[in-house]
Structures are given as structure tokens and as C-alpha cells.
């Protein structure tokens, strides 16, 4: 009897301890978001005192040597390219999603979906290099002023980058609405095309708009890809072939040598960028709260979403004016077919072009040769990438999984605290990588005294991948039947034992999905690592020494202009890695479908 009592007390103590650990992990995102905002603001104060906030934001001249710090041209450049890329990427993404989800045969639908998912994971540095090597020379030939770089080149590259994201999210929303309204629309005498464009698209319009807003968030925060094709002049662009500079490019170009008030001005640029991202997140939160709710990830394409079901059930055909004529519906259908063909071929062309140019140059010397002053090889990148992957994942996985456990297993229905945690987690996922890089440099490298090192880069990447691990794991745990938990508790198991012995094993496939996605993000990251892990060509001596991952090494190859073949080869290796991760993700998701 006493043994049972003691065992019960021990289990209760263990449950309480683990609950506090889960809670601390869950509020980590809140702490990080506040920390980023506070540190960025504190380091921005000197420039605000020097020139004034309004003069800094609306100043027309940027000349650090003359102590002129006005970022209005960069703000205009950021807004300009974001709007243009969103129009291009949003339009093609929407029609591509309509074709894949509503008109494509089942086998073709599966292939196109996998292609889109694959292209969503391609590192931005690869897109940027393609733009520099192919798009810029092409535009230069048709440009009236013989300039290939500029607004048009940057907009096209950004549009291609955000297209897979917009397509995937729009496709998910269309398919979710389809189940509830298609049969009713057909029963009222509509053709398939009329039902799609007159009912399904209109019913899913808020989710589609949310996808476009997310695309805008990525576009305004992109750095490396745009920097390679923008021309990077700090002036307001006059036409599509004018050089321009965005806020993120401004930070990336000059932070490496900036000191004093100049350094503060660059950090203040990041603060203004955070304000823009905050506005986008507020718009997105309002859309989620007042309209159809959506939550996108590769696994959420087949996970059930109760909030979405409830909102759709409350939606009425009375809200839809079914006035799409047969001719108009058929025209829209053919537009979606043409758009999907163009988008898919363009995206596939990028992959094939890189592989064709890069694969012949992959050899033993490139991969495992010794780097020196006259030769750059990828061996240091292989070692640095492996070290960063290990350190980032070993920290981020427990943090993310434990946070998700608290949100799913210990939260109360409609808890304000849980809502706040989720809002901050989503906000963390929307912060541009260049801002994470600044924060990592200020805190990990400088304040903690780690310096530019693999450890500083790893800690920075933990913050970047943490939101996706939390949200992905949370979705997976929510999909596990509550009867499994109830059965375990009824047999006398403690809550913590139930979580580790029943819940987590059942959600293993979903957790693995988040890990694979995180690996892809780490492998493709560059902007956040240049000022935290470093950009060097030599072999790292340990976690406290600098190191360059594949993406950073590729940036070094391309920026020096002497290693074009090596750049193509590195891009090919990155693509091969993404293809492998995508295939692995496909099989993991397939298993998860069978399980649930």
C-alpha cells in the first residue's frame, strides 16, 4: 500500500516538473520575439537620436560617408518589388493551384503537387544565381538602356520563389472547400468549371488571400536572391530596368564593415522592416480570426482541421453569387491550364538548367580537395553544414516538441495564454532571416562573446526552425485520437508516461516531417549565417571557429566571379539534397496518411 502511495507521489512530482519544463519551452517563442524587438530597437536608438525617426524613415539620401542616413528609397524599393512579385507570383500561383486541385487528372495532380513541394524547398541562393546567370543576360538584351539588373529581374525571381508557397496553400484551401460545396453546385445545374470558379473559388477566397499575404511576407523579407539581380543602388527606381535596393539588401551589403552610427542605421533598417512584417502578421491574424482559417504545412494537406470545417459549415450558398457564365468559366479554365504549364515549365527549367551545368563539374577534388588561397573546395562546407545541422537540431527538436506538447496536452480550450503563444510562434516564423542574422550577431556573437562561429550560427538557426517544428508537431499531436490517451490513463499510467509512451510514438511520422523540413531550411539558409557563422573558405576547427555551409560557400563562389563552374556544382548538390529530402518527406507523409 505504501509503495503504491509513494509511486503515486513520485509520478505526481514528475508530472509537475515536466509540465513546468513543457511550459517554459512553450513560452520560449514569446521570449525570443520580445528579445529580437528589444535588442533591435535598443541598437537603433543612436541613429534615431542622431537624425530623428521621421528623417531616418523618409530621408531620400543614403551616404554613410557623408553621415546621411535616409532609407525611404529602400522602403520604396521593398514595397515596389513586393507588389510586383506578388502580382506575378500570386496570379500564376492561384491559377496553377486551381488547375492542379480542380482540373488535373489524378496521376498528373500527384506529379505536379510533388514538383511544387520540391520547388518550395529550393534555397533562395539557387534562385538568385539562376537569375544572375540566365535572367539578367536575357533582360539585358531586351532592355532599352542595356541593363539587365533591376526591378523586373528582382520581381521575376521573387515571383518564382513565392509561387510554390502560394500554389500549395491555395490548393489546400480549394480542396478543403471542394468537399462541402461541389456537389451542391453541380446539383444546381452548374458545369464543373462554373462550380469551380463560381462557388469553390469564392468560398475559399479568404484562404486564397491569406496565401497571397504570406507570399508578400516572404517577398519583403528576401535578401540573397534579390541582391544578386537588383543592381543594389540606393535610389528610388524610375522604371522596370532601374537599379534599386531593398531594406534587406541594404543590411546585407554594408553590415560586414559598418561601425558606429552607420551600424546603428543598418540595425534601425531592420527595425523598420520588423514593423512592416508586424503589419503583415496583423492582417494575416485578422484574416484567420474573421474568415476561413487555414494552417499550412506539408502534413496539414491531409490532417483534419476542425476550425476549417466549422467555418465552412457556417458558410452559405447565399453568400455566393453564382453568375459565372459557361464561356467565362471555360476561359478561366484554359487560363489556369496555360498558367500552370508556364509556371511548371519555368520552375522545372531552373532545376534542369542548374543540374545540366553543374553535375559535370562535381568531382572528388571539388568535394574533398584541400582549400587554400588558390583553390576553393567544398570539404569545409560539408563539415560545417554537418556540424550546424547536428547542433541546431539537437537543441531545436526537444524545444519544439516540448512546446507542442504543452499546447496540445496541457492547454485549456480557448485559453488566452495559448492564443498568445501561437500568435508569437507565427510571428517568429514570419521574421526575415536577415533579422535573425542581426540578432544572432548582436546577442550570440557579441553579447555572449562567442564570436562569428558555427555555434553562433547554430543557435541562430534554432530560432529560425523552431516555429515550424512547434506548429508541425502540434498539428500531428492534435490529430491523434483522444481515446488513446484516455485508455492509457484509465490503465493507471501517469500523464507524462502517456505522452512519452503513447502520444509521441503515434506522432513520430509527423515529428519526422518537421525534422526533414528543418533540415531543408538549414541547408538552404545563407543570409542569417554570413554574420553569425561566418563566410570563410577554411576547415572549421570546432564549434567556436567560423565555418561556411553549402549555401554560404555557393554565395562566396558566385560573388568572387572566378568560380562559376564550382557555383553551378554547389547549386546542383543543394538541389540533389532538396530532392532527396522531398522524396523522404513524401514517404513519411504517405505513412502518416495510412496511420491516420
Alpha carbons 277 and 56: distance in angstroms, whole number: 18
Q: Is the pLDDT of residue 59 over 90?
A: yes
Averaging pLDDT over each range in 146-150, 332-336, 427-431, 461-465, which range is the top one?
461-465
Burial of 85 (C-beta count, 10 Å sphere; 0-12/13-18/19+): buried
Phi-psi region of 545 (alpha: psi -120 to 50; beta: other; left: phi over 0): beta
Phi-psi region of 536 (alpha: psi -120 to 50; beta: other; left: phi over 0): beta
| Cross-strand partners of 62 | 69
Best CA proximity match to 232, nearest among 158, 146, 154, 155: 154
Q: Is the pLDDT of residue 316 over 60?
A: no
Q: Is the pLDDT of residue 448 over 70?
A: yes
Averaging pLDDT over each range in 479-493, 517-531, 573-587, which range is the top one?
517-531
Summarised one tens digit per residue, pLDDT across range 232-285 is: 899 999 889 999 999 999 999 998 888 899 999 999 999 999 988 888 777 766
Say which CATH class 1-43+363-596 falls into: mainly alpha
User: What is residue 21's predicted lDDT score, i.e. its pLDDT?
Assistant: 92
Grid coordinates belonging to 114: 510533388
pLDDT category of residue 437 using cuts at 50, 70 and 90:
very high
Phi then psi dihedrals of residue 62, to 5 deg: -125, 105
Alpha carbons 359 and 216: distance in angstroms, whole number: 34
Summarised one tens digit per residue, pLDDT across range 157-172 is: 999 999 988 998 899 8
Helix (H, G, I), strand (E, B) or coil at 197: helix
User: What is residue 595's predicted lDDT score, i.e. its pLDDT?
Assistant: 58
Place of cell 552610427: 261
Would you report the helix, strand and coil content of the chain in percent, each value rounded to 5? 75, 0, 20
User: What is residue 469's predicted lDDT score, i.e. its pLDDT?
Assistant: 92
Alpha carbons 103 and 109: distance in angstroms, whole number: 9
| Cross-strand partners of 231 | 244
Which is more confident, 338 or 176?
338
Burial of 114 (C-beta count, 10 Å sphere; 0-12/13-18/19+): middle
Phi then psi dihedrals of residue 301, to 5 deg: -65, -20
Mean pLDDT over each residue of the chain, to the nearest integer: 85
Best CA proximity match to 123, nearest among 217, 218, 216, 224: 224
Least-confidence region, from 7-16, 295-304, 413-422: 295-304
User: What is residue 218's predicted lDDT score, i.e. its pLDDT?
Assistant: 84
Angle between helices 326-358 and 564-595 (to 10 degrees): 130
Summarised one tens digit per residue, pLDDT across range 388-414 is: 999 999 999 999 999 999 988 887 766
Grid coordinates belonging to 582: 522531398
The percentage of residues in the chain with a pLDDT greater than 90, rounded to a whole number, is 44
Best CA proximity match to 430, nearest among 442, 419, 441, 422: 422
pLDDT category of residue 366 using cuts at 50, 70 and 90:
confident
Q: Is the pLDDT of residue 298 over 70?
A: no
- Average the pLDDT over 62-85 and give the result: 92
Q: Is the pLDDT of residue 293 over 70?
A: no
- Average the pLDDT over 358-371 and give the result: 86
Say which CATH class 52-361 falls into: mainly alpha
Alpha carbons 585 and 591: distance in angstroms, whole number: 10
Alpha carbons 120 and 158: distance in angstroms, whole number: 12
User: What is residue 7's predicted lDDT score, i.e. its pLDDT?
Assistant: 64
Summarised one tens digit per residue, pLDDT across range 343-354 is: 888 888 998 999
Summarised one tens digit per residue, pLDDT across range 4-17 is: 666 667 767 778 88
User: What is residue 310's predicted lDDT score, i.e. its pLDDT?
Assistant: 47
Q: Are 461 and 444 in contact (CB under 8 A)?
A: no
User: What is residue 285's predicted lDDT score, i.e. its pLDDT?
Assistant: 67
Delimit the domains of the chain by residue range.
Answer: 1-43+363-596, 52-361
Q: How far is the CA of 468 from the CAs of 273, 285, 472, in angstroms?
A: 22, 17, 6
Grid coordinates belonging to 217: 511576407
Best CA proximity match to 200, nearest among 220, 168, 175, 217: 175
Alpha carbons 8 and 494: distance in angstroms, whole number: 9
Q: Are 431 and 37 in contact (CB under 8 A)?
A: no
Q: The dihedral of CA 435, 436, 440, 443: what is its sign?
A: positive
Task: Write the DSSP symbol of residue 63.
Answer: E
Amino acid at each position: 500500500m505504501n509503495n503504491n502511495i509513494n509511486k503515486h507521489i513520485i509520478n505526481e512530482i514528475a508530472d509537475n516538473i515536466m509540465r513546468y519544463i513543457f511550459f517554459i519551452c512553450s513560452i520560449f517563442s514569446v521570449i525570443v520575439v520580445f528579445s529580437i524587438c528589444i535588442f533591435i530597437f535598443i541598437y537603433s536608438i543612436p541613429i534615431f537620436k542622431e537624425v530623428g525617426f521621421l528623417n531616418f524613415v523618409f530621408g531620400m539620401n543614403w551616404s554613410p560617408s557623408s553621415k546621411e542616413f535616409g532609407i525611404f528609397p529602400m522602403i520604396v524599393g521593398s514595397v515596389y518589388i513586393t507588389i510586383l512579385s506578388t502580382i506575378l507570383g500570386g496570379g500564376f500561383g492561384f491559377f496553377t493551384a486551381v488547375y492542379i486541385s480542380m482540373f488535373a487528372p489524378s496521376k498528373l495532380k500527384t506529379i505536379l503537387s510533388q514538383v511544387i513541394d520540391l520547388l518550395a524547398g529550393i534555397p533562395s541562393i539557387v534562385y538568385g544565381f539562376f537569375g544572375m546567370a540566365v535572367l539578367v543576360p536575357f533582360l539585358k538584351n531586351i532592355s532599352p538602356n542595356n541593363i539587365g539588373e533591376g526591378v523586373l529581374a528582382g520581381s521575376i525571381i521573387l515571383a518564382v520563389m513565392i509561387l510554390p508557397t502560394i500554389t500549395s496553400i491555395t490548393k489546400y484551401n480549394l480542396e478543403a472547400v471542394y468537399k462541402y460545396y461541389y456537389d451542391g453546385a453541380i446539383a444546381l445545374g452548374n458545369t464543373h468549371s462554373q462550380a469551380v470558379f463560381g462557388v469553390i473559388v469564392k468560398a475559399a477566397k479568404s484562404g486564397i488571400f491569406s496565401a497571397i499575404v504570406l507570399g508578400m511576407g516572404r517577398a519583403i523579407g528576401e535578401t540573397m536572391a534579390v541582391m544578386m539581380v537588383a543592381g543594389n543602388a540606393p535610389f528610388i527606381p524610375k522604371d522596370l530596368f532601374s537599379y534599386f535596393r531593398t531594406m534587406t539588401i541594404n543590411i546585407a551589403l554594408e553590415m560586414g564593415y559598418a561601425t558606429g552610427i552607420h551600424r546603428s542605421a543598418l540595425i534601425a533598417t531592420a527595425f523598420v522592416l520588423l514593423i512592416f512584417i508586424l503589419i503583415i502578421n496583423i492582417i494575416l491574424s485578422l484574416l484567420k480570426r474573421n474568415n476561413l482559417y487555414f494552417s499550412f504545412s506539408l502534413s496539414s494537406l491531409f490532417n483534419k482541421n476542425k476550425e476549417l470545417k466549422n467555418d465552412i459549415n457556417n458558410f452559405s450558398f447565399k453568400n455566393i453569387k453564382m453568375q459565372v457564365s459557361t464561356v467565362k468559366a471555360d476561359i478561366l479554365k484554359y487560363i489556369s491550364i496555360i498558367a500552370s504549364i508556364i509556371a511548371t515549365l519555368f520552375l522545372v527549367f531552373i532545376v534542369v538548367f542548374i543540374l545540366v551545368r553543374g553535375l559535370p563539374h562535381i568531382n572528388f577534388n571539388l568535394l574533398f580537395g584541400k582549400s587554400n588561397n588558390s583553390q576553393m573546395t567544398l570539404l569545409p562546407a560539408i563539415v560545417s553544414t554537418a556540424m550546424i545541422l547536428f547542433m541546431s537540431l539537437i537543441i531545436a527538436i526537444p524545444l519544439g516538441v516540448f512546446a507542442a506538447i504543452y499546447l496540445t496536452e496541457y492547454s485549456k480550450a480557448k485559453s488566452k495564454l495559448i492564443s498568445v503563444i501561437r500568435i508569437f510562434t507565427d510571428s517568429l516564423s514570419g521574421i526575415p532571416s536577415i533579422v535573425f542574422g542581426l540578432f544572432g550577431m548582436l546577442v550570440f556573437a557579441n553579447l555572449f562573446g562567442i564570436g562569428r562561429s558555427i555555434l553562433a550560427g547554430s543557435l541562430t538557426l534554432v530560432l529560425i526552425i523552431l516555429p515550424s517544428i512547434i506548429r508541425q508537431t502540434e498539428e500531428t499531436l492534435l490529430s491523434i485520437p483522444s481515446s488513446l490517451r484516455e485508455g492509457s490513463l484509465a490503465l493507471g499510467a501517469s500523464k507524462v508516461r502517456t505522452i512519452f509512451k503513447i502520444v509521441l510514438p503515434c506522432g513520430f511520422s509527423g515529428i519526422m516531417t518537421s525534422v526533414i523540413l528543418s533540415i531543408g531550411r538549414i541547408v538552404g539558409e545563407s543570409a542569417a549565417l554570413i554574420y553569425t557563422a561566418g563566410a570563410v573558405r577554411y576547415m572549421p576547427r570546432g564549434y567556436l571557429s567560423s565555418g561556411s555551409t553549402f549555401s554560404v560557400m555557393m554565395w562566396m563562389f558566385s560573388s568572387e566571379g572566378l568560380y562559376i563552374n564550382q557555383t553551378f556544382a554547389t547549386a546542383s548538390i543543394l538541389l540533389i539534397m532538396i530532392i532527396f529530402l522531398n522524396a523522404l518527406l513524401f514517404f513519411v507523409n504517405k505513412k502518416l496518411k495510412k496511420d491516420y
